[in-house]
Amino acid sequence: MNDFREGLLSINLQSIADNYLDLTRRLADGTRCGAVVKADAYGLGMTQVAPTLFRQGCRDFFVATQAEGERLRGELGDDVRIVILTGVRNGAELECARAGLIPTLFTLEQLRNWVEICARAELSAPCAVKMDSGMTRLGLSEEEFELLLRDRQLLNSADIHILLSHLACADEPLHPQNDYQLRSFKEAGERLRSLCPEVQLSLANSSGIFLGEDYHFDIARPGSALYGVNPVPGTPNLMRPTVALSLPIVQKRFVSREQSVGYGATQQAAAGSWLAVARGGYADGIIRAQGGRGRGWACGRYLPIIGRISMDSTTFDISALSDQDRESLQSIEILNKELTVDEVAEYAGTIGYEVLTSLGHRYFRRYIKS
C-alpha cells in the first residue's frame, strides 16, 4: 500500500524530459545541452532524474559535490562526463580522479595541485577551469587568468576539458552585466583556445540560454528550467511544470464566531467560515513566509492559507467551496499546474529554486513516467 497520509509529491519525469528536449532545440548548432543535477536534482531525486535525461541524450552532467558525483557515476556508468562545480576537496584528489570525475578548479594553486598529484599517481586528470567574468564568486580573477595563460608548462601538463564561467544576472535580460560578462568570457575563451584548442567553453545556465546564441558556446548548463522554474521571469513560462504536491486534510472545522487562527493569533477567521487543517508544514519545506499570503488549490479554486504555517500543518480557509465539495474534500494541492513553483516563491519572498530544494522528505514520492 502506498502511504499518502504524509502528503503526496508527484514528480513528472516526462515533463523533465520534455523540458530538456525543448532547451536542446533552442541551442545554437553545435552546442551540447548538459544538465545540472546538483542538490539531488534540485530536490526532485537525482537517481530518477539523471537516467531520464540520459535517455534523452544528455552526456554532460554537473553536480555540486564529489559525493554527488560518485553517486551519479554509480547510477549512469562510465559513458557520461560528470563535472563537480565546487572543485575537489583537499586530500580527495585521487578518489576524484579514480572515479573519473572532472573537478572545476578556481585557483592556480588548485590546478597545480591537481595536475601534480594525479601525475604522481599516473592517473589521467581531466579538469574544468572556472574564470570569474564578473560575478565575483568562484573563479580565477583576471590577474590569475593572465598568469595561467603565461604558464605554458602548466597549460601543457593540465588536461583542461572545459573553461566555464557563471552569469550573475541572466534572469534579467536587459541587465548590462550580461553583455559585460559575455565579452569578458569570450575574450578569455579565445585566448585560452589559441593555446589549448581542445578546450570547450560553457557559460549559460537556464536563463543564459534565453539571452541568445552568443551565450551558448559549446556546452549549456541548465538546471532550474529542466525542473519547471521560469527561466525568463515576468514573461509566460515556456517550461512545463514538473511537480504537484497534495496535502491530506486532517481536520475540517466550522468557525461560529470570529476567531484568530494559529501561532501568534496573526489572522482572524470570519464568523461562519470553514477551515481545513492540512498535514504538511515548514518542516516539510512549505516555506513559513507564505503564512497569510500563499494559497492552495482544490475543486478548481484557490483557497487562501490563513494564519502562520506550523511545523507540521498548514490551515486553509475553504469557505469558498460548495457544501458538497467541502464535504468530499480530502486533500489540498499547494503546487501544481495552477500554482507553480514561481508563484509559490513569490508568496514566500524567495525564488523557485528554493521552493524545489526545500521539498521535504516525509511525503510519499510518486514518479510519473509518461
Binding mask 170-209 for ligand PLP (x = CB under 6 A): -----------------------------------xxx--
- Please tell me whether residue 33 binds ligand PLP under the rule CB under 6 A: no
Answer whether 127's CB lies under 8 Å from 104's CB. yes
For residue 331, give the 3-state DSSP assignment. Answer: strand
Distance CA 356, CA 335 (A): 10
- Please tell me whether residue 224 binds ligand PLP under the rule CB under 6 A: yes
Answer whether 242's CB lies under 8 Å from 224's CB. no
Phi, psi values for residue 339, rounded to 5°: -140, 85
Say which residues have a Cβ less than 8 Å from residue 360's Cβ, sequence separation at least 6. Answer: 7, 280, 283, 284, 285, 286
Q: Which stretch binds ligand PLP (CB under 6 A): 50-58, 217-225, 312-320, 358-366?
A: 217-225
Answer whether 37's CB lies under 8 Å from 83's CB. no
- Identified binder of ligand PLP from the candidate list 26, 221, 240, 308, rule CB under 6 A: 221
- Please tell me whether residue 280 binds ligand PLP under the rule CB under 6 A: no
Binding mask 115-154 for ligand PLP (x = CB under 6 A): ----------------------------------------
Dihedral of CA 306/307/308/312: which sign? Answer: negative
Complex with ligand PLP: residue 216 or 279, whichever CB lies closer: 216
Distance CA 46, CA 58 (A): 14
Q: How big is the CA angle at 153 (ends 147 and 158), to the nearest 5 degrees?
A: 90
- Identified binder of ligand PLP from the candidate list 9, 27, 72, 85, rule CB under 6 A: 85
Complex with ligand PLP: residue 1 or 174, whichever CB lies closer: 174
Say which residues have a Cβ less than 8 Å from residue 77's Cβ, sequence separation at least 6. Answer: none
Q: Which stretch binds ligand PLP (CB under 6 A): 91-99, 140-148, 179-187, 223-231?
A: 223-231
- Please tell me whether residue 352 binds ligand PLP under the rule CB under 6 A: no
Catalytic residue set: 38, 263
Residues binding ligand PLP: what is the number (CB under 6 A)?
12
Instruction: Give the residue numbers of the binding site for substrate.
Output: 137, 311
- Write out the residues near ligand PLP by the rule CB under 6 A: 36, 38, 85, 166, 205-207, 221-225
